[in-house]
Amino acid sequence: MIKIAIVDDEKVVLERVKSCIEGVTEIAGKVETDMFQGAELFLKQVEQGHIYDIVFSDIQMTGMDGIQFGTIIREKYPRMYLIFLTSYSSYAVDSYLIDAYQYILKAQMAERIPPVLFRLTEKIERERKKYRIVSSVNDIKKIYHNEIIYIKKIKGSKYVEYVMLNDTCRERISLDRLLHELDDEAFLMIERGYIVNMRYVVRMHGTTIYLQNNEQVVVSRARFIEVRERMNGRIGK
């Protein structure tokens, strides 16, 4: 099930957006929608462990506005797809500054939400189908690509370690071969011992990459230009 959150300080807008979502017949039965009358209420819910795939948010809200809210989403929860709603096209520039997936004018919600949401749910479903079977002496695990934060070479051994939000596991394989077998553009080798999943990159500053689990990884000089180019337009996607 794909989880969708709607964040707005006006109840009438919350209901309108929910109605637009429910009108997309192609995704009926595939999504669950929750409404939050304010950014603070949503963040409190997420901090308690509730996960959302897509967030619709107004830009102009009392209390925490959409730009402040979006900045927090991008920094703490880069895997969430953020869609801004606004009454004014001038706010689109602000939404692009924090890498929103889309912005939609409220006057065009009935026309814009269905095709945007249909394409996005298809994208999420495709991502969820990508996985790898990892075998060890005592265990076999199915690891979904979108659960992997990064993969590192274990020094002095022929094993790599998969680091996920709530788990780790090991596999006997070289990083070069693994990157080839993953065949997923979201994975990027940033130095000889690390592959990062760009879905979890919060930001890149200088040669340092900051990940959602608060870890930092330094890009090698040899790969810096390639990594910077690949990162452009990919962070939070």
Q: Across residues 130-151, what is the average pLDDT?
A: 88
Q: Which of 63, 112, 55, 124 is nearest to 84 (CA)?
A: 55
- What is the β-pairing status of strands 102-105 and 81-86? parallel
pLDDT of 93 higher than 70:
no
pLDDT of 209 higher than 70:
yes
212 — pLDDT class (breaks 50, 70, 90)? confident
What is residue 89's predicted lDDT score, i.e. its pLDDT?
Answer: 66
Q: What is the pTM of this model?
A: 0.71
CB 101 within 8 A of CB 113: no
Q: What stretch(es) of the chain map to CATH 2.40.50.1020?
A: 131-231
109-118, 131-140, 226-235: which has the minimum mean pLDDT?
226-235
CA angle 36, 42, 45 (to 5 degrees): 120
SS3 119: helix
Which range has highest mean pLDDT (65-79, 95-109, 180-194, 222-236)? 180-194
Q: Across residues 57-62, what is the average pLDDT?
A: 90
Query: What's the rounded Cα separation, in Å, for the pair 90 and 111?
Result: 20
Residue count of the chain: 237
Query: What's the rounded Cα separation, in Å, for the pair 89 and 210?
Result: 32
CB 91 within 8 A of CB 59: yes
Domain 131-231 coded CATH 2.40.50.1020 = yes
pLDDT of 138 higher than 90:
no
Q: By percentage, how much of the chain surpasses pLDDT 90?
A: 60
Mind giving me the DSSP string for 85-111? EES-GGGHHHHHHTT-SEEEEGGGHHH
113-117, 128-132, 158-162: which has the minimum mean pLDDT?
128-132
CA angle 57, 94, 9 (to 5 degrees): 25
What is residue 236's predicted lDDT score, i.e. its pLDDT?
Answer: 43
Between 88 and 59, the more confident residue is 59
pLDDT of 183 higher than 70:
yes
16 — pLDDT class (breaks 50, 70, 90)? very high
Q: Which of 71, 16, 75 is nearest to 39 (CA)?
A: 71
Domain 2-128 coded CATH 3.40.50.2300 = yes
Between 132 and 139, the more confident residue is 132
Q: Which of 63, 58, 44 is nearest to 16 (CA)?
A: 58
Query: What's the rounded Cα separation, in Å, for the pair 16 and 70?
Result: 21
- What is the β-pairing status of strands 131-135 and 140-144? antiparallel
Q: What stretch(es) of the chain map to CATH 3.40.50.2300?
A: 2-128
